[in-house]
C-alpha cells in the first residue's frame, strides 16, 4: 500500500487548513484516505479469517 491511513488522514487535515485549497482537492484527499482505510480494514479481516480457517477444531 502506498500510504498508511493515518498519514493520509493527516494529509487531509493539512490540506483542509491551507488557504486557497479547493473543495475538490480536499474531497480528493478525504476520498483517498477513506479508500486506504477501508482497504486496510479489509486486509486485516482477511488475515483474521485465514487464521480462523487454519485453526484446528477442538
**In residues, how long is the chain?**
58
Q: Is the pTM for the entire model greater than 0.85?
A: no
> Which carries the bigger pLDDT value, residue 1 or residue 36?
36
Domain that holds residue 22: 5-54
Closest by CA to 42, choosing from 9, 8, 10, 5, is 5
Please tell me the total count of domains within the chain: 1
Question: Hey, what's the cell of 52?
Answer: 480462523
Distance of CA 28 to the CA centre of its chain: 13
> Which tens digit of pLDDT belongs to each residue from 2-58?
467 677 777 777 877 777 778 888 778 778 878 888 888 899 899 999 988 876 666
Amino acid at each position: 500500500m502506498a500510504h498508511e491511513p493515518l498519514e493520509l488522514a493527516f494529509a487531509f487535515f493539512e490540506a483542509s487548513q491551507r488557504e486557497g485549497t479547493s473543495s475538490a482537492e480536499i474531497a480528493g484527499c478525504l476520498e483517498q484516505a477513506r479508500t486506504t482505510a477501508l482497504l486496510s480494514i479489509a486486509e486485516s479481516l482477511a488475515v483474521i479469517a485465514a487464521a480462523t480457517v487454519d485453526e484446528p477444531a477442538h
